[in-house]
Amino acid sequence: MRRKLTQRGKDRRRQLMDHAAALFAERGYHPTSVADIVETLGVGKGVFYWYFPSKEELLSEILRESQQDLRRRQQQAIGDEPNPVVRIELGIRATIEWFLEHRKNFTLFQFAATDERFAPVLRRNHDVAIADAARHIKEAIVEGLIADQDPEVLAEAIVGACNQLTLTYVFDRNEPVDRTAEAAVSFCLHGIVGK
């Protein structure tokens, strides 16, 4: 296990994380062996264990880092927009765009949710994201912009709908992000009945 990292070390670490994340997303976590990771990178096995204590910890770190990055992107997109409904809309768009640029993380998150060793890592962040969205919704209710419903339930539903649309249209069918985001926002705001 490493102690201090030089620039060279930091680069290797990055390289390993990116490469492993790609392999995990492509072939799955379990079917991808540590040997696979280092071989396709052309380095010895010791390199892996110099930077990471275990294969498990590597995925956990990948997950933590990705989630942090997504959250940063969402907050940045929302900025200081005063209208809470617009904030939700901006958040949805930012999320879909982020997943387009980091599509490998989508599969990774989905898998991690099914493994009891990684689910807790996701869980914490998911709860924060939901609480965040729920806050905006609550504010919108107070301002009389939307009907009075459980904000947390709405937040979960929004996340679910957006994820499914992203998966199907952005990943499987390569539809443009804008159209998908538009559909997601429209559905989340007005449901199938429409305005």
The residues binding a second copy (CB under 8 A) are 26-31, 88, 107, 110-111, 113-116, 137, 140, 146-150, 153-154, 156-165, 168-169, 183-184, 186-195
Which of positions 13-32 make contact with DNA (CB under 7 A)?
30-32
From DNA, a second copy, none, which one binds at residue 147 (CB under 5 to 8 Å depending on kind)? a second copy
| Minimum CB–partner distance for residue 44 and a second copy (Å) | 26
With the CA atoms of 64, 170, 97 and 113 taken in that order, what torsion angle do they form, in degrees rounded to the nearest 10?
Answer: -20
Place of tokens 């919108």: 140
- Contact track, DNA, 36-65, x by CB under 7 A: x-----xxxxxx-xx---xxx---------
Residue among 160, 156, 164 at smallest CA distance from 137: 156
Which regions of the chain does DSSP assign to beta strands (E)?
Answer: none
Number of amino acids touching DNA (CB under 7 A): 28
Measured distance CA(118)–CA(69) in Å, rounded: 18
Measured distance CA(16)–CA(48) in Å, rounded: 8
Report the interface residues with DNA, using CB under 7 A. 2-10, 12, 30-36, 42-47, 49-50, 54-56
